[in-house]
Each structure stands twice: as structure tokens, then as C-alpha cells.
Amino acid sequence: MTEKALLEVENLQQYFPIKGGFLGRTVNHVKAVDDVTFNIREGETVSVVGESGCGKSTTGRAILRLDEPTNGKVTFRGQDVLSLSKNEMRKMRSEMQIIFQDPYASLNPRKTVKQTLIEAMEIQKIGKNGKERVQRAIELMETVGLQEHQINRFPHEFSGGQRQRIGIARALAVNPKLIICDEAVSALDVSIQAQVLNLLQRLQKEIGLTYLFIAHDLGVVRHISDRIIVMYLGKIVEMGDTKSIFENPQHPYTKALLSAIPVPDPKMKKERIFLRGDVPSPIDPPAGCRFHTRCPFATEKCQTETPALEAKDTVFEGKHDVACHYALDIQSGKHEATHEMKDVRKVLDDAGEEAAASKEDFQSTK
């Protein structure tokens, strides 16, 4: 990994208009991503995590301009992505690829693997002629752990894990530098998930790829990420090195997400933090700290003042930013929960409760 930023995202904003009324005017906006800033160094894996609807995919799509961002700046290898013409953007897409959760939906069911891979190369003018492209398609099959004799098969003739490998081969066909993996392993069985994650890690070492990994499960990204970004309702609430996020989480939301990861040994005691209520609407997000409606530590200040995302961590200094007015005071015990903690926390010390809890998704106890 180098210190050079491959991708820089500054103050990214994505507001989707909501049309209504007789004239179909814009009556409001879904504030899906609001003022998001981060960068990714060459060779790094950065993961974006958070509950459903927090703006993870929108961030990935805005970087690639699959949806035009409302505001902000995206710089890739020093180039201002948002000012590129359509033609320049098409060329740039060969360097920035995306892999989706459901490869079946993103693969053309009427095209064989060979046709799919060759088409991707043709669009980006990769390979001198048909023969060279076929040869490269065979090599790509081998790279992702598929066999040459499967090259004339259609997507429905493969398993979910194999289809995801085809999706990876298609992304690799155009020699990308950055791959955005949007829930790329979420739909797969745990053992297949591990195989695909291993493949992605191997490719990173061999080809020097950089990943933006989008997932709702912190447990999945732990072993592959250099850094983790935690999003809540369109904003980054915490961002830091993986070790720092796992060993020294600062934001109450991150702590709740971490407490929901099932522990391998059911006899181990684990304190699970249950968040009250649902995620508020991104059409009218709460003022101040967007998390205040669910945060056990919220005060009046949290309802009006937006906390800045800044380094507060004294243990892993400079490698960890958090957006919470009371991060350090919560850590030191100076700032206590404002609701009865027993309403929102529970010590899970028996296997039955632990198993039940792992099935829930950070839901309300009430």
C-alpha cells in the first residue's frame, strides 16, 4: 500500500428529488448522502458499513457517476471525475469497476461467460483481436477459480458463488485499479463468502488492486479491511483503522453495530447494545446529531449542534475520526447515558439469548 491517495471524495452530497403535486414539481429531497469526505490510498481496502438505507450504495454509485452527485468533488488518480465528458468517463470506468450483490441480476442471462468477458474488453478496446480476447478470457477464468471448459456456459448454469466469480472476472477484464464491491459477498453462504473474500485478497496482492468494500456486516469486513467508515443516515459518524475501530470504538452507533456481531463461543458473555426505534427518514433527518433520536447518551446539545467528524481518540491518535460531542467523556465514564441503560443494554450470558439476538438486526427492545 502507498501513502498516495488513489481516490479522494470531498463533501459528496446526493439528494434525490421527490416529485409531487399536479405539476410534478420537486417537493422535497431524499438526503441519501450528505457531506461525505474520505480518501482511499493505492492498494488499500476501505469498507463502508452501516444499517440499510444509510447511503452506502449511493456513495459508491455517485463516485462512478452511475447517479450524478448533487454536489462535492471526486478525484481519481489526480483527475476531477465529475468534470469528465461522457466519453472520458467511459474510459475512466475501465479503471473503476463495481461488483454488485446479485451477480445474476447484473449478468446478461442470454450471454455465455465468454461473450460477457469479451464484450467488456471490446467496450474498453482491450486486446488486439478476437483471438487475443478469447485467450485473455480463458486466463481470467483461471484467475478467478473457474475452468476453461465452463466458458461457453450461461449464468444460470453456475452456482451463486461461481456467478460472483464471473462478476469479478468481468470487472478484471478491463484492468481496473479500483473495484467497488457493493455487498459483493452478502448473498453467499458463509463458506463461499470466505472463498470469494480470499480470492479478492489474493487478487489485491497479485495485481495491486484497491477496494471500496460496501457491507452492512462489520464481522464480514474485519479481516479484509485496512480502514473502516461507519455511516449513519447519509453521514460518516466514525472512520479509522480497522484495529482501532474494533478495539476502541468511539461512537455509540459503532459500539451498537459491534455489539451485534455474533461471538463464536456461545458461552462467552457479551454485552449487546440495543438501539431504540427505527432509522429516521432521510427526507427529514433529525437536526443536530442525526443519531440523537436513538442514542442513549443524547443531550439537548445533540438535538441542535451537529458534531464535527474529527480525531478525538487518545489511544490511536490521528488514525481515527469520530462525530460525537461526548466521545471522550463517554469513554472515560464522565458522560453517562441519559436513558436508563437497562432499557437499552442487556447482558447476554446464555447461549439461547445470544442465538436469538444474532437473528435480530439492531432492533428496538420496545
Ligand X SMILES: Nc1ncnc2c1ncn2[C@@H]1O[C@H](COP(=O)(O)OP(=O)(O)OP(=O)(O)O)[C@@H](O)[C@H]1O
Q: Which residues bind ligand SF4 (CB under 6 A)?
A: 251-252, 289, 291-292, 295, 297-298, 302, 307, 324-326
CB of 229 to ligand X, least distance (A): 12
Q: Which does 302 bind (CB under 5 to 8 A by kind): ligand SF4, Mg ion, ligand X, none?
A: ligand SF4
CB of 56 to ligand X, least distance (A): 4
Residue 57 makes contact with ligand X by CB under 6 A: yes
Indicate the residue among 96 and 295 with the shorter CB distance to ligand SF4.
Answer: 295
Indicate the residue among 192 and 328 with the shorter CB distance to ligand SF4.
Answer: 328
Q: Which does 294 bind (CB under 5 to 8 A by kind): ligand SF4, Mg ion, ligand X, none?
A: none
Out of 16, 104, 154, 316, the residue judged to bind ligand X by CB under 6 A:
16
The residue number whose beta carbon is nearest to Mg ion equals 57
Instruction: Tell the burial category of 52 from Cβ atoms under 10 Å away from its Cβ (0-12, 13-18, 19+).
Output: exposed
Q: Which does 58 bind (CB under 5 to 8 A by kind): ligand SF4, Mg ion, ligand X, none?
A: ligand X
Instruction: Determine contact, residues 196/188, Cβ cutoff 8 Å.
Output: yes
Q: What are phi and psi of 314, to 5 degrees?
A: -95, -15
Indicate the residue among 343 and 349 with the shorter CB distance to ligand SF4.
Answer: 343
Indicate the residue among 174 and 302 with the shorter CB distance to ligand SF4.
Answer: 302
Residue 30 makes contact with ligand X by CB under 6 A: yes
User: Which residue has cell 485467450?
Assistant: 135
Indicate the residue among 176 and 288 with the shorter CB distance to ligand SF4.
Answer: 288
Residue 68 makes contact with ligand X by CB under 6 A: no
Q: Which does 54 bind (CB under 5 to 8 A by kind): ligand X, Mg ion, ligand SF4, none?
A: ligand X
Residue 53 makes contact with ligand X by CB under 6 A: yes
Residue 9 makes contact with ligand X by CB under 6 A: no
Q: What are phi and psi of 341, to 5 degrees?
A: -60, -30
Out of 52, 129, 147, 191, the residue judged to bind ligand X by CB under 6 A:
52
Instruction: Report how far apart, in Å, the C-alpha atoms of 114 and of each of 93, 104, 146, 167, 258 are.
Output: 21, 16, 12, 12, 42
Instruction: Determine contact, residues 74/39, Cβ cutoff 8 Å.
Output: no
| Site string (181-220) toward ligand X, x via CB under 6 A | -----------------------------------x----
Residues that bind ligand X (CB under 6 A): 16, 30, 32, 50, 52-58, 216, 282
